[in-house]
């Protein structure tokens, strides 16, 4: 029975759709615009998340959901049976390469199955995985470090030790891939046969030092979904009958929700969703409220005949869902494209770097469609109830000519409002605009939304304080270094790139105030006894932060400790650079004269991976640091002060898992390490000479020595402008679409209202209102909407805008709120024009039908 009576409702819905073509068009466009907004926002969010996820995976070193560490073959085979796992693959750790040339990058030697290598972004793109006993596959980056051409069949020498036994072996290159400098460790793949011969698989792993884990299995695995990985991992271990803690595991934090969406992004996203939902509600509600009012007789009639409220609601909903069938897909496509176009702007801001990849995550479309649908359902509730609640008698009365009661009421209102205006058409226009206060409110809100957003974006951009932004970034007017130093993606940095020629040029610059050279050694430092003690304590303190995914950094740290050798950045800095270090609020003052005397060194704390200050140090104040130069000479320096950190802008701009630095004065550095070129030269010139200096430096780096690059105030200013542009582009685009929705809503309301009143207007003309007066009246009506919109946006709107700005930019450290109404002022003229034009165009169309014909119309 239900099915049967739905059929007639469908017929009625279809026919009523056919009858309301204008409404359909407006509804389709309104729904499409709403869907565009949702899709754009979700696509931007999705692209952002997938870019961050990509970057995180590269840092983690694999795309797999998680890994089980240090397994025996029997354990691995057992885990592989688990129904909880979707896919599993493994590799076997042999050791870490000890070639001098590979010291700078942790290079791990393993056997790997194909899948595990693929998931780890380390699968040969040329050639194949090692098959023959003495074959090897590695990345181009590793080959470069070894100075071996990218050619299959090349001989690759490898040094490593397993359980105290040292190996010097030569392998044949069977395959290679590009390699990724962002990944924390490089992988070198060997054959299974060779692996088994040097690192027999342990039957039990209890000692988690390098010696203990050599030959054990690292399993990479995938679950069904990426949510709750920590719990899934624990469940898997329990399911196979192990006690908690018995099996070591790691979870890929690229999949952790907390790691991908920070609170600010979440707030901005939530605000955007609410804004779009509201804007969509205003127009869709308005379209259907008007339509139901116009068709009230139709609903009343159906009710008289016996349609229930539910059935009438279903008709109204059907009228909205049918346009949604066209509107939502169109909106999804346009919104996705828009998101694709805008994404690079957003990603350029996040310092992730790398190519922007458009995420085609189906969730983007699912969410966008779901929210669009939700908007429609919410918007149609009230119009549906209006149709359902219609009283049959009221509806019938509409048919009768005597609309006496309603007319009388209207006239009364008109008279009361008449006192407001002076000219007759103006007075009537105000009365007309105020006839339906709810309609008026909706249009004003709808038009205001885009203006509020626009003002907010403008005041966000306006509030970005360049001084504040530059304060941290720019420590000198200029810095010059080999371009690889500035690039996060370069593999082999040249730390001795500033040639004598450019230094002479700088020295000869007019207006030069000060300059300094910064020398650098990416050292492998042999710790003193005291240093070893300090480092062991430091590793104990940092252990929770070092529990990584693949090989525990802690394992690496253990290796460091056993050998007593750690990576160490050694800088030699001129006085100007020392002043920059001393200027950091967290750093102590530096007595440069004492530092330059020859016996002293500055020690910087180990950077904590969570970015907090106050990490542990390797050498404390007064302790002796033994440094060794290339000639093998060892000299001891006393720690003069402990720095919290070494300033990034004048650093080698790359990091290690365990980062610490020692700083000598430039003269001491050169005396000890021998003469070499600086990594970087920084200098200030008098303000008036900055443009000339910049021009000279730019042309020098472009023409004379293209391997050099420089940073200047204008570079950071451009970066700053780029960021402002991102806000302008995205915020501006969303504002424009919101504006389109508002305008469409206004035009629809005005057009339907004039159309509904065409008889009333004909009556006015028949009793002597001239076309000119009528036009003035309609024009005033339209303009009154514009005026109210501007008033609303300037008052209540600026309060809402303040909250929006807070949500978007509140967390940005170089943002200062400033009050502005410039966008409002700029919007006044276009708004007035649109609000004046719509009714006039509508009147022109109406005038085509003669007064008599209009009077006759029912």
CA distance readout (Å), 580 to 419, 573, 608, 709:
71, 10, 22, 21
Between 400 and 593, CB nearer to other proteins: 400
CA distance 606 to 592: 22
Between 6 and 163, CB nearer to other proteins: 6
Residue 302 Cβ, how far from other proteins at the closest point, in Å?
7
Q: What SS3 string covers 712-740? A: EHHHHHHHHHHHHHHHHHHHHHHHHHHHH
CA distance readout (Å), 347 to 226, 356, 565, 723, 727:
23, 7, 39, 10, 12
Pair 710, 478: CB distance under 8 Å = yes
Pair 659, 606: CB distance under 8 Å = yes
Between 302 and 559, CB nearer to other proteins: 302
CA distance 823 to 454: 7
Alpha helices in 390-423 (DSSP H): 392-397, 404-418
CA distance 511 to 575: 19
E strand spans, 50-148: 66-71, 87-96, 107-112, 126-127, 135-139
Residue 283 Cβ, how far from other proteins at the closest point, in Å?
25
Residue 31 Cβ, how far from other proteins at the closest point, in Å?
22
With the C-alpha atoms ordered 155, 159, 162, 164, is the resulting torsion angle positive or negative?
positive
Residue 298 Cβ, how far from other proteins at the closest point, in Å?
7
Residue 390 Cβ, how far from other proteins at the closest point, in Å?
11
CA distance 446 to 429: 21
Residue 312 Cβ, how far from other proteins at the closest point, in Å?
10
Between 382 and 654, CB nearer to other proteins: 382
Between 308 and 501, CB nearer to other proteins: 308
Between 322 and 690, CB nearer to other proteins: 322
CA distance 604 to 616: 9
Pair 667, 464: CB distance under 8 Å = no
CA distance 541 to 375: 52
CA distance 520 to 515: 17
Residue 371 Cβ, how far from other proteins at the closest point, in Å?
32
Residue 752 Cβ, how far from other proteins at the closest point, in Å?
18
With tokens 């194909």, the residue in question is 114
Between 3 and 500, CB nearer to other proteins: 3
Residue 417 Cβ, how far from other proteins at the closest point, in Å?
24
Between 409 and 844, CB nearer to other proteins: 409
Residue 305 Cβ, how far from other proteins at the closest point, in Å?
5
Residue 385 Cβ, how far from other proteins at the closest point, in Å?
12
CA distance 698 to 687: 17
Pair 185, 567: CB distance under 8 Å = no
Residue 378 Cβ, how far from other proteins at the closest point, in Å?
23
Q: Could you list the residues that contact other proteins (CB under 8 A)?
A: 1-8, 11-12, 15-16, 18-19, 298, 301-311, 391-393, 396, 399-400
Residue 2 Cβ, how far from other proteins at the closest point, in Å?
7
Between 390 and 800, CB nearer to other proteins: 390
* 3-state SS assignment for residue 588: coil
Q: What is the DSSP letter of 251?
A: E
Q: CA nearest 427: which of 417, 437, 441?
A: 417
Q: How many CB atoms within 10 Å of residue 687? A: 10
- The count of C-alpha atoms lying within 13 angstroms of the C-alpha of 349, restricted to the half-sphere facing its C-beta, is 19
Between 543 and 856, CB nearer to other proteins: 856
* 374-398 burial: b if 16+ Cβ within 10 Å, else e: ebbeebbeebbebbbebeeeebebe
Residue 431 Cβ, how far from other proteins at the closest point, in Å?
25
300 Cα distance to chain centroid: 52
The packing angle between helices 771-794 and 822-847, to 10°, is 150
Residue 301 Cβ, how far from other proteins at the closest point, in Å?
5
CA distance readout (Å), 342 to 355, 358, 733:
14, 10, 9
Residue 6 Cβ, how far from other proteins at the closest point, in Å?
8
CA distance 559 to 542: 15
Between 73 and 304, CB nearer to other proteins: 304
CA distance 40 to 34: 10
For residue 540, give the H/E element and its range. Answer: helix 529-546
């Amino acid at each position: 029975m239900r099915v049967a009576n739905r059929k007639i409702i469908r017929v009625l819905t279809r026919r009523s759709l056919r009858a309301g073509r204008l409404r359909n068009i407006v509804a389709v466009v309104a729904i499409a615009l709403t869907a565009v907004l949702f899709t754009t926002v979700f696509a931007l969010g999705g692209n952002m998340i997938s870019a961050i996820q990509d970057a995180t995976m590269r840092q983690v070193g694999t795309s797999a959901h998680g890994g089980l560490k240090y397994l025996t073959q029997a354990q691995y085979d057992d885990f592989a049976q688990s129904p909880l796992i979707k896919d599993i693959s493994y590799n076997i750790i042999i050791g870490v390469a000890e070639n001098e040339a590979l010291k700078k990058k942790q290079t791990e030697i393993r056997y790997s199955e194909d899948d595990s290598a693929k998931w780890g972004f380390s699968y040969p793109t040329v050639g194949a995985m090692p098959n023959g006993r003495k074959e090897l596959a590695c990345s181009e980056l590793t080959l470069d470090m070894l100075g071996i051409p990218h050619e299959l069949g090349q001989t690759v020498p490898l040094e490593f030790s397993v359980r105290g036994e040292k190996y010097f072996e030569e392998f044949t290159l069977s395959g290679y891939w590009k390699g990724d400098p962002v990944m924390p460790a490089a992988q070198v793949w060997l054959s299974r046969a060779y692996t088994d011969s040097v690192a027999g698989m342990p039957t039990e792993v209890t000692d988690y030092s390098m010696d203990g884990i050599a030959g054990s299995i690292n399993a990479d695995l995938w679950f069904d979904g990426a949510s709750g990985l920590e719990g899934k991992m624990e469940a898997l271990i329990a399911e196979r009958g192990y006690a908690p803690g018995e099996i070591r595991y790691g979870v890929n934090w690229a999949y952790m929700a907390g790691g991908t969406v920070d609170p600010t992004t979440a707030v901005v996203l939530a605000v955007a969703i609410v804004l779009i939902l509201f804007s969509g509600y205003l127009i869709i509600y308005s379209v259907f409220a008007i339509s139901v009012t116009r068709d009230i007789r139709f609903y009343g009639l159906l009710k008289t005949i016996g349609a229930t409220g539910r059935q009438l609601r279903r008709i109204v909903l059907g009228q909205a869902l049918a346009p949604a069938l066209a509107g939502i897909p169109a909106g999804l496509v346009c919104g996705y494209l828009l998101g694709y176009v805008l994404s690079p702007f957003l990603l350029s801001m996040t310092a992730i770097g790398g190519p922007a990849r458009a995420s085609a995550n189906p969730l983007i479309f699912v969410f966008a469609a779901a929210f669009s649908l939700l908007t429609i359902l919410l918007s149609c509730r009230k119009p549906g109830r209006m149709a359902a609640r219609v009283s049959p008698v009221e509806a019938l009365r509409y048919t009768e000519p005597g609309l006496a009661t309603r007319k009388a009421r209207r006239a009364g209102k008109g008279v009361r409002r008449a006192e407001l205006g002076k000219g007759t058409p103006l007075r009537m226009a105000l009365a007309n605009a105020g006839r339906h206060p709810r309609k008026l409110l909706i249009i004003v809100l709808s038009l205001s939304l885009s203006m509020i957003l626009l003002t907010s974006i403008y005041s966000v951009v306006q509030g970005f304080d360049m001084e504040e932004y530059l304060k941290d970034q720019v420590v000198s007017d200029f810095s010059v270094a080999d371009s690889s130093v500035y690039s996060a993606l370069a593999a082999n940095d040249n730390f001795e790139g500033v040639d004598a020629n450019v230094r002479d040029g700088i020295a000869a610059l007019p207006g030069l105030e000060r300059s300094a050279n910064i020398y650098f050694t990416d050292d492998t430092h042999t710790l003193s006894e005291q240093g070893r003690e300090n480092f062991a304590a430091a590793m104990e303190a940092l252990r929770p932060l070092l529990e990584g995914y693949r090989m525990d950094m802690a394992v690496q740290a253990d290796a460091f400790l056993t050998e007593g050798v750690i990576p160490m950045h050694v800088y030699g800095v001129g006085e100007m650079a020392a002043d920059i270090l001393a200027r950091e609020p967290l750093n102590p003052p530096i007595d440069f004269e004492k530092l330059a005397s020859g016996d002293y060194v500055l020690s910087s704390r180990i950077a904590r991976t969570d970015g907090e200050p106050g990490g542990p140090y390797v050498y404390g104040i007064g302790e002796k640091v033994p440094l060794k130069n290339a000639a093998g000479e060892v000299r001891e320096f006393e720690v003069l002060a402990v720095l919290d950190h070494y300033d990034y802008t004048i650093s080698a701009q790359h990091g290690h898992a365990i980062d610490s630095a020692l700083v000598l004065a430039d003269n001491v550095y050169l005396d000890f390490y021998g003469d070499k070129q600086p990594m970087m030269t920084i200098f200030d010139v008098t303000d008036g000479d900055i443009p000339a200096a910049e021009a000279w430096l730019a042309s020098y780096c472009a023409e004379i020595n293209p391997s050099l690059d420089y940073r200047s105030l204008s570079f950071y200013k451009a970066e700053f402008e780029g960021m402002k542009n991102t806000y302008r582009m995205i915020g501006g685009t969303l504002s424009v679409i919101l504006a389109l929705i508002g305008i469409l809503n206004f035009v629809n309301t005005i057009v339907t209202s004039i159309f509904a009143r065409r008889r009333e207007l004909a009556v006015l003309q028949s009793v002597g209102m001239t076309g000119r007066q009528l036009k003035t009246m309609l024009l005033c009506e339209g303009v009154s909407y514009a005026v109210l919109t501007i008033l609303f946006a300037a008052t209540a709107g600026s309060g809402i805008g303040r909250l929006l700005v807070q949500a978007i930019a509140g967390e940005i450290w170089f943002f200062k709120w400033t009050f502005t109404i410039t966008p409002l002022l700029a919007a006044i003229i276009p708004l007035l024009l649109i609000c004046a034009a719509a009714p006039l165009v509508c009147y022109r169309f109406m005038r085509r039908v003669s007064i008599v014909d209009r009077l006759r119309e029912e």
